[in-house]
Amino acid sequence: MKFSFRPNEGAFYELFTRAAQNLVRGTELLNELALPDVEVQSVSERLTEVEHDSDKITHELYKKINSTFVTPFDREDIYRLGSLLDDVMDHLEAVGNLLYLYGLTKLPSLPREMHELVHVLDQQAKLTAEAMPRLKSMKDLEDYWIEINRLENDGDQAYRMLLVRLFSGEYDALTVLKMKEVADELEAACDSFEHVANTVETIAVKES
């Protein structure tokens, strides 16, 4: 019989992994928005479903923290990591939702820099989903957080260039304001991935 001193710890890693896999589903849905003849309302609704699923995972995680005697690492860090993964999902959902609500997809095309930002998010989501199971061993995580930070810099650059374009006079003021809201959510998602990675780094520093 296999004996584990920390019988419940597997469940924590599984919840983190599921939360991160939802982020991959989220960025894949955002990628669909670049396709011709996309049904924006349907993408927005599917994003909302994924977001609700993430909420459930987060609550399951919080309940598990409360009902577990020995947690794999600090309760507060588990709590924070869960809450930050949830933040990313909120921003991804907001992007799809705002694009639909503001009718922005009726424009001939969205600025190229928006697609660049979605591409950065997609890579960040995949790296995060791959890293979560490695929390168990606390090994091979350094590449993950370095790469997330590098991608966040790329995202920052794309965001700045997006604003330069938005303010160039190519669009009218109200369209600029709408796109700016979407741009801010894209950038906030990018930042949130970095916050997740920084928290993983903090945990690894403490546990090492």
Q: Is 198 in the site for a second copy (CB under 8 A)?
A: yes
Residues 6+ apart with CB under 8 A from 179: 104, 110, 111, 114, 166, 171
Query: Please, what is the end-to-end C-alpha distance for the chain in angstroms?
Result: 29
Placement of tokens 């168990």 in the chain: 136
Cα–Cα distance between 17 and 125 in angstroms, integer?
11
Interface pick for a second copy out of 102, 123, 147, 154 (rule CB under 8 A): 102
Q: Rounded to the nearest whole angstrom, what is the least distance from the CB of residue 180 to a second copy in the complex? A: 7
- Residue 56 in the binding site for a second copy (CB under 8 A): no
Number of residues that bind a second copy (CB under 8 A): 30
Burial class of residue 182 in the structure, from the number of CB atoms within 10 Å of its CB (0-12 exposed, 13-18 middle, 19+ buried): buried
Tokens of 40: 């924006």
Listed ranges 9-17, 108-116, 120-128, 157-165: which one lies at the site for a second copy (CB under 8 A): 157-165
Q: Copy the structure tokens of residue 10.
A: 């597997």
The residue count of the chain comes to 208
Stretch that binds a second copy, among 6-14, 43-51, 72-80, 128-136 (CB under 8 A): 72-80
Q: Is 84 in the site for a second copy (CB under 8 A)?
A: no
Among 60, 126, 180, 188, binds a second copy (CB under 8 A): 180
Taking a C-beta distance cutoff of 8 angstroms, is the pair 93, 41 a contact? no
Among candidates 149, 6, 3, which has minimal Cα distance to 78?
Answer: 6
Phi/psi at 99 (5° precision): -55, -40
76 binds a second copy (CB under 8 A): yes
**Closest distance to a second copy from the beta carbon of 3 (Å):** 27
- 79 contacts a second copy (rule: CB under 8 A): yes
CB under 8 A: which stretch of 3-11, 13-21, 110-118, 174-182 binds a second copy?
A: 174-182
Nearest Cα neighbor of 57 from 20, 25, 88, 30 is 20
Please, which residue, 112 or 206, has the CB nearer to a second copy?
206
Among 13, 32, 45, 65, binds a second copy (CB under 8 A): 65
In the complex with a second copy, the residue whose CB is nearer, 13 or 102, is 102
Interaction site with a second copy (CB under 8 A): 62, 65-66, 75-76, 79, 83, 97-98, 101-102, 160, 163-164, 166-167, 169, 173-174, 176-178, 180-181, 198, 201-202, 205-206, 208
